[in-house]
A and B are shown apart, each in its own frame.
Chain A
Amino acid sequence: MKHARIRLPGEADIHAVLVNDDHSVQLADGRRVAEEAVEWLPPAEGTVFALGLNYADHAAELAFKAPTEPLVFLKSPATLTGHRQVSVRPDNIIYMHYECELVVIIGKTAKNVSREQAMDYVAGYSVCNDYAVRDYLENYYRPNLRVKNRDTLTPIGPWWVDRDDVANPASLTLRTWVNGELRQQGNTRDMVFDIPYLIAYLSSFMTLSPGDMIATGTPEGLADVLPGDELIVEVEGVGRLVNHIVSEAQYADRQAQTV
């Protein structure tokens, strides 16, 4: 099953919904609403972890050796947005790139979990586009929050799918299209640290809770994106997340209209 969090236009309430095969959503009161008629929110609420350099080919692309220990950084709710929303490219920068990633949603409290038991703690999977603005990289707590935790720069969703609906999360194709053109392609089998390893690693020093999300890194194939671009990131068997790049001025206009 596919689970999502949505709002209806003009309403403040957040609905936890199931998603139908045609991507319409099923409200608890029985109403069925089309994909285009809802505001998609991030599908879960919790601590968001993201992985850097977790695909060997991507590490090589950035001229890095793959790390010997997971390179983990955190995100806050400030940066998250949902399916069919916009992401802002800051003015006066040179390079902002997408990153298609498989997201693991934690389903049970996890502390000191072994690799062998780790998959028992997974509720399901989602998709994110972990944008980065390379101009703002500094060599302190790299990748720093100015690069990776900007408003709107982490769309996630559209939904999460149950763990048991994905036969083998270690063999899923990831793809990114920019304006309909395939620009990034990889497979989760090429992760440096796989999902069981990441859950065991994180839970060895902190407690993971239901709703926590682990964005597991991206393969090679990065490119700059510009206002007006349509980005689609897809993880095979999990979902297809659409968003659009806007300029700061376009974003300010949109914000003014919704107030």
Chain B
Amino acid sequence: MKQGRIVLNQQARRVTALADGKLLLDNGNPLADSPQWLAPASGTVYGVALNHRSLLEQLEADFQQPPYQKAPATPVLFIKPRNTHAGHGSAIALPTQAGKVFAGGALGVVLGKVASKVAVEQALEVVAGYTVVNEISLEETSFYRPAVKAKCRDGFCPMGPWQVDAAAIDPLNVEIRSYLNGELAETHHSRDWLRSVPQLIAALSQFMTLQPGDVIIPATPLRQLEIRPGDTVAVEIAGIGRLENRLIAEESAQ
């Protein structure tokens, strides 16, 4: 089943997609207009950095030098706070004076159960479903300090439109395609992730209790897809959906 969240008369409401593509509101009524989408989940969003081999291989030599000294031993985590969460179709404001901005096509793993100290073997039992995420970030020249300024800008974590049931997706075999202005610009695959979704759920839940509605972004690829005001960026995962957003200049958003 595909479920999303929309705003209707200033209220968050659930919608379901029927097989023919029509939308059904949570009260059973059909929805005719194209809605204003929200992110399908509303919990804490945890991202995993440096989990894509392309990125790790490129930085391998740097990681032996100061300030890092050695390669990371545990998942490198960050939080995308609530001001970053946005829906399908939202216009995202990019700063024009802060350097390059990159798209980050990614899977979103949505939790359905409270998860504490979950074993790898049981990890997928706590997943409710999957969504599509664009983990937008400024260019990162260092991974030493938390990347709050790069990753926590308003609207820098659009998600959706759909959350599909866990059974519909194999998280060990996911291809993520990113499109810039309608053209395929980047493809990456879960087989290139250092740690898998079950391994990440086990690692995170070792020290933090995860809640239903929390989202894990298992990996974002090497930052190559630069985005600029005026562009349209889309991220697509077969079986989940296509997340599309317009980019505008921050000045025009105010």
Q: Flag the segment in B11-19, B79-87, B161-169 that touches A.
A: B79-87
| Closest chain A CB from B18 CB (angstroms) | 35
Q: Given A146-B207, A205-B95, A209-B82, answer yes or no on A78-B72 (Cβ-Cβ < 8 Å).
A: no
B156 to chain A: closest CB distance in Å? Answer: 9
A-B contact count (CB 8 A): 100
Partner of B79, one of A74, A140, A206: A74
Asked if B130 is at the interface of the complex by the 8 Å CB criterion, the answer is no
Grouping DSSP codes into helix (H, G, I), strand (E, B) and loop, the B interface class, with mixed when no group exceeds half, is: loop
A224 proximal to B (CB < 8 A): no
Q: Is the CB of B148 within 8 A of A145?
A: no
Whether A74 pairs with B148 at a CB distance below 8 angstroms is: yes
In the bound complex, CA of A90 to CA of B70 (Å):
24
Q: Once the chains are docked, how many angstroms separate the CA of A209 from the CA of B85?
A: 13
Q: Check A149 against B208 for contact (C-beta < 8 Å).
A: yes
Looking at the assembled complex, report how far the CB atom of A220 sits from the nearest CB atom of chain B, in whole angstroms: 21
Q: Which of B74, B144, B207, B211 has the most CB of A within 10 A?
A: B207
- CB pair A79–B147 under 8 Å, yes or no, is no
Contacts of B207 in A (CB 8 A): 90, 145-146, 149-151
Contact with B along A125-141 (1 / 0, CB 8 A): 00000000000101111
Complex Cα gap A149–B144 (Å): 17
Q: With A140-B68, A205-B153 in contact, do A76 and B83 touch (Cβ < 8 Å)?
A: no
> Which one of B42-50, B227-235, B241-249 is at the interface?
B42-50
A207 at the interface (CB under 8 A from B): yes
Pairwise interchain contact A139-B67, C-beta atoms closer than 8 A: yes
Q: Is A95 an interface residue (CB 8 A)?
A: no
CB distance from A75 to the nearest CB of B (A): 8
Number of contacting residues on A, CB 8 A? 33
Which one of A47, A111, A136 has the greatest number of beta carbons of chain B within 10 Å?
Answer: A47
CB distance from B137 to the nearest CB of A (A): 12
Chain B residues with Cβ under 8 A from A207's Cβ? 83, 154
Cβ of A141 and Cβ of B82 under 8 Å apart?
no
Task: For the complex formed, measure the closest distance between the CB of A181 and the CB atoms of chain B, giving whole angstroms.
Answer: 29
Per-residue CB contact flags for chain A residues 49-62 toward chain B (1 = under 8 Å, else 0) read 10000000000000
A206–B211 CB distance below 8 A: no
Q: Are A205 and B77 interface neighbours, CB within 8 A?
A: no
**A205 vs B152: C-alpha distance when bound (angstroms):** 8
Nearest to A138 among chain B residues (CB) is B72
Given known pairs A139-B68, A206-B154, the reply for A144 and B76 (CB within 8 Å) is yes
Interface presence of A73 (CB below 8 A): yes
| Chain B interface category by residue count | 35 or more
Contact status A140-B83, CB under 8 Å: no
Q: Is the CB of A73 within 8 A of B208?
A: no
Q: How far is the CB of B82 from chain A (nearest CB, A)?
A: 6
> Which residues of chain B come closer than 8 Å to A209, judged between CB atoms?
82-83
Closest chain-A Cβ to B64's Cβ sits at a distance in Å of 11
Select which of B83, B98, B143 is within 8 A of A47 by beta carbon.
B83
Residue in A73, A75, A136 whose Cβ sees the most chain B Cβ within 10 Å: A73
Residue in B72, B77, B153 whose CB lies within 8 Å of A206: B153
* Pick from A47, A140, A208: contact of B49, CB under 8 Å: A140
Known: A141-B76, A141-B145, A145-B208. A77 touches B83 (CB 8 A): no
Decide if B201 is an interface residue (CB 8 Å cutoff). Answer: no
Q: Which of B118-155 contact A (CB under 8 A)?
A: 143-149, 152-154
Which of these, A49, A74, A78, A136, contacts B209 with CB under 8 Å? A78
Q: Assuming the A-B contacts A140-B72, A145-B208, A150-B207, are A72 and B81 also in contact, with contact meaning beta carbons closer than 8 angstroms in the complex?
A: no
- With a cutoff of 8 Å between Cβ atoms, the chain A residues found around residue B254 in the complex are 112
Distance of B212 from chain A, by nearest CB (Å): 13
A96 to B144, CA, bound (A): 21
Our pick among B98, B144, B208 for the contact of A139 (Cβ within 8 Å) is B144
Write out the residue numbers on chain A whose beta carbons fall within 8 Å of the beta carbon of B149. 205
In the assembled complex, the Cα of A76 lies from the Cα of B207 at a distance in Å of 12
Give B39-82 interface residues, CB cut-off 8 Å to A.
Answer: 44, 46, 49-50, 67-70, 72-74, 76-79, 81-82
Q: Which residues, 64 to 85 on A, are CB-close (under 8 Å) to B?
A: 71-79
Partner of B211, one of A49, A72, A78, A144: A78
Additional pairs, 8, CB under 8 Å, beyond known A139-B69, A142-B144:
A74-B146, A76-B208, A77-B211, A78-B211, A111-B154, A140-B72, A141-B147, A151-B116
The 3 closest A-B pairs by CB, nearest first: A78-B208, A47-B81, A76-B44
21 residue pairs of the A-B complex, CB under 8 angstroms, read: A46-B82, A47-B83, A74-B78, A74-B148, A76-B44, A77-B44, A139-B69, A139-B70, A140-B144, A141-B77, A141-B144, A145-B77, A145-B207, A149-B207, A149-B208, A151-B116, A205-B98, A205-B153, A206-B154, A207-B154, A209-B83
